[in-house]
Structure 1
């Protein structure tokens, strides 16, 4: 798959809230994930850890709406904007917005970085 095809497929699966499928289909076994500095356990490596983090997030949220932009692709990188309206397990309803940046190598995503406001 080309970087554009991978980006388009990630957007498609994200919009369908199929994050586990996206990880299994599009990510390398040794892929890494990076949250904003200071987030506990914000840096992870290994597909199983990325899937576990994603599934734990999904289990603790009720999604009211999800927006995923079209991807911007440049060389081996692509980015998408994501916005989500959720109710957390503690009952608080929040809206979260982030830019997600992905790096592709040998037809798989090898790195993901999430950029969002802290505080």
Structure 2
């Protein structure tokens, strides 16, 4: 059963992640909010690298590699979070030009798990390829 403390903590973490992502401060969000042993999961046929990445350093590197492939971000929108217990989700929409792929519109759902110490321990992304 969800306690008010867990719900409030998850909402605080979710709101902070959304705030930082809307400002384009994704690496800062990872450094501030993620557990050292975080797990990041992508779709099985994701072309950008491994489906599973473990550890905060590797998640930062994955994020930086994605940004290194971006020529221009035309727009980026992150929804308000929806929380349930220790989990929350946000919808992200991007209009991006990649250096080797051209311009594309991306839409994804990101689901996060927050541990009892207020750190994100898992992120998982869902999207159409």
TM-score normalised over the length of structure 1: 0.95
Counterpart residue number, 2:59: 50
- TM alignment of 1:40-119, pairs within 5 A: 40-61=49-70, 62-90=72-100, 92-105=102-115, 106-118=117-129
CA distance in 2, matches of 1:18, 1:2: 21
Task: Kindly report the root-mean-square deviation, in angstroms, between the aligned alpha carbons of the 2 structures.
Answer: 1.1
Matched, 1:20 2:27: yes
- What secondary structure is seen at the aligned counterpart in 2 of 1:112? strand
| Runs of 4+ displaced beyond 6 Å | none
Equivalent of 1:4, from 5, 11, 14? 11
Matched positions, count: 118
The Cα offsets for residues 55-94 of structure 1, whole Å up to 9 and x where unpaired, read as 1111211211000000000000000000000000115100
CA distance in 1, matches of 2:90, 2:29: 14
> Gapped runs of 5+ residues in structure 1?
none
Superposed displacement of residue 96, structure 1: 0.3
